[in-house]
Amino acid sequence: MQSHIKELAARFYHETVFVRQHLHRHPELSFQESDTASFVASKLKEYGIPFKKDIGGHGIIALIEGNNPTEHCTALRADLDALPIQESSNESYCSVNEGIMHACGHDAHTAMMLTAGRILFELRHHFDGTVKLIFQPAEEKLPGGALEIIRAGGLENPKPKQIIGQHVLPTLESGKVGFRTGAFMASSDEINIRVTGKGGHAAMPDKFTDTVLIASQIVVNLQQIVSRFASPLMPTVLSFGKIIANGAHNVIPSEVLIQGTFRTFNEEWRAKAKEHITRIAQQTALAGGGNAEVHIEHGYPFLWNDEFTTKTAQKSAIEYLGKENVVELDQRMTAEDFAWYSHQLPACFYRIGTRNESLKITSDLHTSTFDIDESVLESGSGLMAWIALSNLEI
């Protein structure tokens, strides 16, 4: 069966490249992926794969039924959305949508899963069970398309026994894949703090509230959460990336806005830390004669890779790519809404390398120069199909 998969992945390679480049040329933001979904639906129809659309927004779910389709169901997932980044590229497939770019590889994820689905559909008379393909919108924006897929019943009828996700990794050499069991990626919450007070002339600070100073002290004081409240054994990040104090050289504004992110790997500590953030911010503001309103947007949970499911996928990758092309990965403080699935089903989220220094493909994710070595589209689509079939045999 493995040789058949490799043969089909090679046969469909140019189509996979076409799909990836089309999606890359026409990116759409989270919750706006209508044209992307229409294109994916057209390809599924062309390949003969039955599907349902408009699931949890612009999501699409396709079912590939083998012999005895109720015997076992396994799921594969790819994401559809792009990022609000202006692309810096002279490639023919550069984004034509101003200020929008596939800078996180979702175009490649979708292209590879479409081809994996096409391979499995070709081989459907040679396996038992059902493979569910989940083309998910809105990975990049809270509350995340995965949660909307779950709420819409996307993990039911049939319910998969496990779910697999694949994501590009530009720091890993092209042709290699990486796995990690257990807690793999962090939870992510968005911190919003509004500091208020009586603004006024900067030359008379005794008559007004120095909201800028208060905001500065809040940012500094909140670092205690990581250095003194978090266990040294618990990875924790609290970072602030945006402060808006719209005053002037000689004007203290009546309002300062602070935005940041909090990330960790434990739900109990996550909840406690958010209590600390609120308390410290409010008490710091009061000590300076102002007020602080704290709004924390609850984001994605941490991503948990089930040990058995991940080890099974890793074994399949070794069989398909060779042991020398399969590596162990470190934990990451980045977040992924695939995490929602990992708290519902046994899950494996793994990374596929796309770095090729000889082709000068080295830019990181979420950058205006991001690109991939397209040779991975063949191995990546075949690997997804092989892992799916391996799961059906468990």
Residue 106 and residue 58 share a domain: yes
Phi, psi of 144 (to 5 degrees): 95, 135
Q: Both 147 and 22 in a single domain?
A: yes
280 and 348 both lie in a single domain: no
Q: Are residues 271 and 340 in the same domain?
A: no
CATH number of the domain that residue 7 is part of: 3.40.630.10
Considering the domain architecture, whether residues 32 and 173 belong to the same structural domain is answered as yes
Domain end point (choices 230, 264, 297): 297
Choosing from 241, 269, 297, the residue where a domain stops is 297
Catalytic machinery residues: 81, 139
pLDDT of residue 333: 97
Domain boundary among 238, 267, 297: 297
Number of domains in the chain: 2
Shared-domain flag, residues 27 and 79: yes
- 108 shares its domain with 246: no
pTM for this model (two decimals): 0.93
39 CB neighbour count, 10 Å cutoff:
18
Same domain (yes/no): 162, 284: no
pLDDT one-digit tens code per residue, 272-318: 999 999 999 999 999 999 999 999 999 999 999 999 999 999 999 99
**What is the domain-level CATH number for residue 254?**
3.30.70.360
Confidence class for position 6, pLDDT limits 50, 70, 90: very high
Q: Which domain, by its residues, includes 102?
A: 2-185+302-392
Same domain, 58 and 197: no
Judgement on whether residues 156 and 208 belong to the same structural domain of the protein: no
> Are 265 and 373 members of one domain?
no
**pLDDT > 70 fraction of the chain, expressed in percent and rounded:** 100
- pLDDT for res 71: 86
Q: What is the pLDDT of residue 271?
A: 97
Q: Which amino acid is at 212?
A: V
DSSP string, 77-145: EEE---BS------STT---STT-B--SSHHHHHHHHHHHHHHHHHTGGGSBSEEEEEEE--SSSTT-H
166 plus 266 within the same structural domain: no
